């Protein structure tokens, strides 16, 4: 009886082993190692930080009792251990986004200023909040792989709508960076 059960177990194992789906040629060509996937997840997490807490949906915490007037605007001192100066904020942005995306973000959505070596926030700034999306970074998949770029797709949920969006990382000055600022 034990012999029959052993033979059945082996037979079931062999049958199941042959049932595994072989990867398609597209899946093989779009393979991305765990190192690159981790790199993308880190860049994307920083993108979420910049969108939700620094530039688009909100701003860094400020001390409204420490204000300065400059060029007809009122600035409040930023209270942040992460960004003690404007150059620290600028450097962090450039470590996440490619040159063009960094320049665009720092030009169009920048409500911060370097005043006497400290980081200040323009209190008259108006935010265009993006629709709050919840991204599922555990289900990232590779869409395409090129010489100096990768395109990934991430499922997201915004309100009652579910969809997925594509994100590109490119090799910029020998470092992998997001090609754009992604808001939703």
What is the domain class of 31-178 according to CATH? alpha beta
| 8 A C-beta contact, residue 182 and residue 47 | yes
Which tokens hold the place of 52? 């939700």
> Which DSSP string do the residues of 19-52 spell out, in sequence order?
TSPPPPHHHHHT---HHHHHHHHHHHHHHHHIII
- Kindly report, residue by residue over 50-108, the tens digit of the pLDDT: 888 898 878 899 999 999 998 889 999 999 989 989 999 999 999 999 999 999 998 88
- Kindly report, residue by residue over 10-56, the tens digit of the pLDDT: 656 555 555 555 545 444 445 567 778 888 889 988 988 888 889 88
Q: What SS3 state is found at 112?
A: strand
Report domain extents, the chain.
31-178
């Amino acid at each position: 009886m034990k012999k029959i059960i052993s033979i059945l177990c082996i037979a079931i194992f062999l049958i199941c082993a042959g049932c595994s789906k072989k990867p398609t040629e597209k899946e093989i060509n779009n393979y991305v190692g765990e190192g690159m996937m981790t790199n993308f997840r880190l860049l994307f997490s920083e993108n979420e930080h910049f969108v939700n807490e620094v530039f688009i949906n909100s701003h860094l915490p400020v001390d409204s009792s420490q204000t300065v007037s400059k060029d007809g605007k009122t600035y409040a001192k930023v209270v942040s251990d992460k960004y003690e100066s404007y150059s620290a904020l600028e450097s962090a942005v450039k470590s996440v986004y490619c040159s063009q995306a960094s320049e665009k973000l720092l030009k169009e959505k920048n409500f911060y200023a370097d005043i006497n070596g400290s980081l200040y926030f323009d209190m008259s700034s108006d935010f265009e909040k993006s629709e709050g999306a919840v991204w599922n970074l555990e289900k990232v998949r590779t869409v395409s792989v090129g010489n100096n770029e990768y395109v990934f797709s991430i499922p997201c949920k915004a309100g009652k709508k579910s969809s997925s969006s594509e994100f590109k990382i490119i090799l910029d000055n020998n470092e992998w960076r997001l090609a754009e600022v992604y808001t939703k």
